[in-house]
Structure 1
């Protein structure tokens, strides 16, 4: 049985990584959020969009526990701001996804809850199962990795980062 302090500590670690990302995109307009600043295709708005969609998908996987692939999980457009996307809209979607994840985690009796993963083109032939703990750790890793990408993109954009705002 998972202790409440483990769930609290891991939830706090995810919240910290989310906050670093939000600091990095603070004060940007839509044009800046959509601008590429490195050889990578990633943009700050695209990172926010991807993390919002990814967190929503992983929370759905954890809550539904049906092994079904969430809509849009494999959509490569999630990495780019589409025409009509705004940074404010993407941040609202990210905030909503984070709130849904936090509520789902709070509702779990423990982090040992196991769920079937959806089958994807890169999945092994047999279905895999992850615990809610592993999903939460994956979200922390994914958010931290992309918050780091965001720092580099923002620094190339205008010299700001999560630790040095302009």
Structure 2
């Protein structure tokens, strides 16, 4: 496998995760994409905003490739999670477009630089703030897939929409209510 093959393989799986995240917003109201759906405030639009910053930070800033995109300021104690929610001034469309611009920019970085290129992560401690483009790409892919999984669960909880992509859910053809009832019956045997 060549460097180009490895790069294309990683970018393909990253794009799959990006597409899944975007699909999880389709058809939902502004309220549903913004509202906190877990005790820690996780929300669909916030996940998208977060992965935008992750991509730009690890695949652009780390390698000295200016992107010009506005990123959250984490200076205020109340904004330590500023990348995990959309402010009232940020539209869904602006966050989606920023994400698309980010991935266009970061894909260009990945295609133009050798995978062995060493970058410096500005927010890591100086004694261990260097990594290769390959490592940064794997890190971003892992983070994006993790958040796509969270989005899967959040979306299913909102309206039952489940699966990998809108036109490819990758789910077996089951009677889901019966399946869930069966699992509940098994689990209930272990109640304390």
* TM-score scaled by length of structure 1: 0.83
Q: What SS is found at the alignment partner of 1:41?
A: coil
Correspondence list, 1:11-160, <5 A: 11-64=11-64, 72=72, 74=74, 75-108=80-113, 110-120=114-124, 123=125, 126-160=127-161
Contact 2:20 / 2:148 at 8 angstroms: preserved in 1?
A: yes
Higher RCO by CA contacts (8 Å cutoff, separation 6 or greater): 1
Residues 21 and 149 (structure 1 numbering): CA distance in 2 closer, same or farther, change over 3 Å?
A: same
* Structure 1 residue 92 displacement after superposition: 0.6
Q: How many residues align?
A: 157
Q: What SS is found at the alignment partner of 1:89?
A: helix
* TM-score scaled by length of structure 2: 0.73
Runs (5+) with no aligned partner, structure 2: 75-79, 167-192
* Structure 1 residue 57 displacement after superposition: 1.6
Contact 1:34 / 1:44 at 8 angstroms: preserved in 2?
A: yes
Of 28-37 and 90-99, more deviation after overlay is shown by 28-37
Whole-angstrom CA distance in 2 between matches of 1:134 and 1:24: 27
Cα deviation per residue 1:130-160 (whole Å; 9 max; x = unaligned)?
0000000011001000001111111111111
Contact 1:29 / 1:87 at 8 angstroms: preserved in 2?
A: no
Correspondence list, 1:3-14, <5 A: 3-14=3-14
